[in-house]
Amino acid sequence: GESVGLHLPTLSVQEGDNSIINCAYSNSASDYFIWYKQESGKGPQFIIDIRSNMDKRQGQRVTVLLNKTVKHLSLQIAATQPGDSAVYFCAEKESGGGADGLTFGKGTHLIIQP
C-alpha cells in the first residue's frame, strides 16, 4: 500500500490469517529490494530481500514477490502472529552502487487482530 498525505495505510488482519503488503517503486534502475519491519520507537529490522533476477523468494513465513514490469513488490506473511504487528517498509537501490543508501517506500501499518 502507498500512503496518502502523511498517513500510513493500515492493514488489519485476524491472527492466523495471511497478509499481503504491497509496495510500488518508481526507479526502473533499482535492482535490489528489501523489506523491513519497524516496531514503534525502534530501527528497521531486515525481513527478506530479493534481486531483480528473481521474481519470488521465500523465507520463514514470508514470501516476497517482484513484478518488474509494473514496478511492484509485495510481502506475504503467512499465519500472522501478534508479534507481526508493526510498520512494514519496502526499500530499494541500484546494486551497482554497492555502498549507496536506500530509498524507502512509504510504509504500511500492519495490525494483527486477536
Partner 1 sequence: GAVVSQHPSWVICKSGTSVKIECRSLDFQATTMFWYRQFPKQSLMLMATSNEGSKATYEQGVEKDKFLINHASLTLSTLTVTSAHPEDSSFYICSAIGARYEQYFGPGTRLTVT
Binding residues (CB under 8 A) for partner 1: these are 3, 6-8, 36, 41-46, 89, 95, 98-107
Q: Please, which residue, 38 or 74, has the CB nearer to partner 1? A: 38
Q: What is the C-alpha separation between 97 and 31, in angstroms, rounded?
A: 10
Pick 41 or 114: Cβ nearer partner 1: 41
Kindly state the smallest distance separating residue 108's Cβ from partner 1, in Å: 10
CB of 39 to partner 1, least distance (A): 10
Is 5 or 114 the residue whose CB approaches partner 1 more closely? Answer: 5
With contact defined as beta carbons under 8 Å apart, do 95 and 51 qualify?
yes
Q: Which of 52, 35, 40 is nearest to 88 (CA)?
A: 35
Report yes or no: 15 and 113 within 8 Å, Cβ to Cβ.
Answer: yes
| Total residues found in the chain within this entry | 114
CB of 63 to partner 1, least distance (A): 20
